[in-house]
Amino acid sequence: MRTKYREQMRYLNNSLIEMGGIIEHNITMVVKALKEQNIELAQEVIGHAEEISAKEKEIEHLCLKLLLTQQPMAKDLRMVSAALKIITDMDRIGDQSADIAENTILLADSPYIKDLVHIPQMAEATIKMVKEAIDAFVRKDINLAVSVINYDDIVDDLFISIRNDLTLLIKQDVENCEQAFDLIMIAKYFERIGDHAVNIAKWVVFSLTGTHRYDLLD
């Protein structure tokens, strides 16, 4: 019985890695679509949202099965409970990638009012956060989880830079307003992806310590 239980726990880890890989790939694709104004690629990202949701349901079913049939105790119980929370954040990351793709399609017909520099930097930062947050859960690495939480300041600073740059362009020419607003929304979606990565990292801390107080680890 315990051998089967351990196999199910390993399968849970592998499923989280797989789901994480899908959302990382989706973020990478949506940035490429945005930079190249590629409608077909943006539509592909939108299509992957259903795949991500299906993966969430599969992992949720596995977690509930573990809770009901194996009755994990203490640390393992926290791990399974955290996984249930983590997949919700991962699904929302998939939704926000699709939101970015939808905005990309709206922007595809006109040249950009400025070179995209900080938005791709935000995307790279959020991909790093998502990947490391999931790695922290799988590897049970509390230090990596805390580093993800702290890294969120970089994403927040990039968002402020983007918002300030685009606000200035609006002030210079009101015709920039519509596209600038869409680009600010895209940056906001990336900021939210970073926030979900932080949520994942905080659930990792909880799964390992029983508390969300990562500051106590300093």
For residue 65, the model assigns a pLDDT of 87
Instruction: Express each pLDDT in 8-52 by its tens digit.
Output: 888 988 999 999 999 999 999 999 999 999 999 999 999 998 899
Instruction: Express each pLDDT in 168-209 by its tens digit.
Output: 988 888 888 999 999 999 999 999 999 999 999 999 999 889
Q: Residue 141: exposed, middle, or buried by beta-carbon count in 10 A (0-12, 13-18, 19+)? A: middle
Alpha-carbon dihedral of residues 61, 63, 66, 69, nearest 10 degrees? -40
For residue 76, the model assigns a pLDDT of 80
For residue 39, the model assigns a pLDDT of 96
Q: Residue 121: exposed, middle, or buried by beta-carbon count in 10 A (0-12, 13-18, 19+)? A: middle
> Please, where are the H alpha helices in the chain?
2-36, 39-65, 74-107, 118-139, 142-172, 177-209
Distance CA 120, CA 130 (A): 15
**Res. 2 pLDDT band, cuts 50 70 90:** low
Domains along the sequence of the chain with CATH: 2-217 (1.20.58.220)
Supply 183's token pair.
């680009």
Instruction: Express each pLDDT in 87-108 by its tens digit.
Output: 999 999 999 999 999 999 999 9
Write down the pTM of the prediction.
0.90
How many percent of the chain have pLDDT more than 90? 65
